[in-house]
Amino acid sequence: MSDYLPPLRDMDFLFNEVFDIPAWWALTPALAEQVDGDTARAVLEQAGRLIAEVVAPLNRRGDEQGCRWDAGQVHTPDGFADAYRAFAADGWVGVAGAPEYGGMGMPKVIGAQLEEMLNAANLSFGLYPMLTAGACLALLNHASEPLKALYLPPMYQGRWTGSMCLTEPHAGTDLGLIRTRAEPSADGRYCITGTKIFITGGEQDLTENIIHLVLARLPGAPAGPKGISLFLVPKVLVDADGALGEANAVSCGSIEHKMGIKASATCVMNFDDAIGYLVGEPNKGLNAMFTMMNYERLGVGIQGLALGERSYQGAIAYARDRLQGRAPNGAAAPAQSADPIVVHPDVRRMLLTMKALNEGGRAFSTYVALQLDLAKYSEDAAARARAEARVALLTPLAKAFLTDMGLETTVHGQQVLGGHGYIREWGQEQLIRDCRITQIYEGTNGIQALDLVGRKLLADGGQAYRSVSAEIGAFAEALPAACAEFSAPLLAAVRNLDELTAWLLDRAQDNPRELGAAAVEYLHVFGYTFYAYLWARMAVVCQGHPAPEPFHHGKLGTARFYFARLLPRIHSLSASVRAGSDSLYLLEAGQL
């Protein structure tokens, strides 16, 4: 597989030319002395260098070796432990962590770019620090001060990792069914008993301790989701001074044998009267855990984007080098026996689709990350509230659309390579296998779509949706006539989305099945429309650039391709939404 090249130029373009993020940092007291454009560039360059040189070369080896389970112990592939120590030593685990507990304190918009680079280089490796960062966020927002002071510094330092223990054998997405018990002890601690499955990084040999965040029920707790509490359960008990003590009653019963991400340990975890500590209030565990889950959902979306980027890099390198056939309009390289396949229309269609979805996805993930920063750091209370509502609305879209497009992109990458794409040595088939899980974990994409149409559109009376729609419409209407090639189809797309939203919500009042029947197609209409907004923003920057470079010309051409060949997908998807749910129920269950 080709070497991984961090897309630093495109990230810099988004930061400085599209969103003008450093200017906002300079006006925000909480960030003005912490970060600027030069700092961001230096951070991403340094992280990208380590990721490309140390982490990326382990990707294929990790897939071939996988994790090994032996008598309760998990062994990661050769080289993972050394690479993790190098990654942690540079402070990257805590890049967006709270400075008062040893984190680097970078804004999320920087952390999101680092996540993309890490996951593109090696998704299995990236899952270990990703779960740790999410666990840290949950503790930062919900744990008591003594727990934060004791556990966050070594987690930010990468000496300890974190895990998220939700799912049980009988309870997948429906967490209200969990049976893990938490019995209070006289010393204020709790004894946790139960079994959790599909636990990423539940056991590994990278760090000296693992901090499990475990959902469990207290005695007499209400049934269902309202009776769930959250507990911190360390693998190794920790003394008051931070020193490691004896092993806790936590064990790994086995690891899963998976389609992809084979170097990420996916564990069955057993808790047998393990000592734990309550995080947050009793019976409010889901509220605390959703802090971590929503963080992970954007992170999973970024995983889909990252794998699409890695696939594109391999596909474009192959297409420029592979000689086969002649260009339709005559030989492009007459001195050679054949032309590179990049000249063929269908190959260009696939490559441009990959490029447009990747660069649109990067703009989208950056936009959502910026909203998270606005919600956290803005001095304007109204701006914070608006950003929080926007993040809630866009999180299911980010998780599902980015990963759906990621799988499409990796499949295109494999197709560009033809038979070589089906062979392990070229790396494309691994990217497809790894990407497939991103549509499943952290809530399947169907559930994300249901969350979007069944909750987020209605959560505030539709205000967050109207705010996003108004932003897109105002941008398009303000464009000059010279930009009509982008403004006209963008206006038409957002008006279609407005009408589709109103139609769907109206139909659902009389027939609840309509939401579930239309949710996925609706989410895709939303996604393609939002990408069109971001592509229009990027195109306008390039059109008006005072000294355009080849980069800007390429970006403008890709924008035109997106509007010509990808945005029109909304028409067939909208027709599917309007077709309703009746055709899904023409057959009895036994006829399916």
C-beta of residue 279 within 8 angstroms of C-beta of residue 232: yes
Rounded to whole angstroms, the Cα distance separating 31 from 372 reads 14
| Separation CA 213–CA 234 (nearest Å) | 9
- Report how far residue 474's alpha carbon sits from residue 253's, in angstroms, rounded to the nearest whole number: 56
- Clarify whether 442 is annotated catalytic: yes
For residues 30 and 39, give the distance between their C-alpha atoms in angstroms, rounded to a whole number. 15
Start-to-end CA span in the chain (Å): 42
Residues written for the chain: 592
The Cα 435–Cα 352 span in angstroms is 20
CA distance 296 to 303: 10
Quote the CA–CA distance of 521 and 529 in Å, as a whole number. 12
Determine contact, residues 578/517, Cβ cutoff 8 Å. Answer: no
Pick from 528, 520, 525, 511: which is nearest to 574 by CA? 525
CB contact at 8 A, 199 and 165: yes
- Which one is catalytic: 116, 203, 429, 442? 442
Dihedral sign of CA atoms 523, 525, 528, 529 in order: negative
User: 198 by DSSP, 3-state: which?
Assistant: strand
SS3 string, 234-275, reads ECEEECCCCCEEEECCEEEEEECCCCCCCCCCEEEEEEEEEE
218 touches 182 (CB < 8 A): yes
Contacts of 548 (CB under 8 A, 6+ apart): 542
SS3 content of the chain, % helix, strand, coil (to 5): 65, 10, 25
**Measured distance CA(231)–CA(213) in Å, rounded:** 6
**DSSP string spanning 418-445?**
GGGGGSGGGSHHHHHHHHHGGGTSSS-H
Cβ–Cβ < 8 Å for 372, 23: no
Distance CA 280, CA 364 (A): 32
SS3 category, 160: strand
Query: Which of 89, 174, 19, 59 shows the shortest CA–CA distance to 424?
Result: 59
CB count in 10 Å sphere of residue 533: 24
Catalytic residues: 442
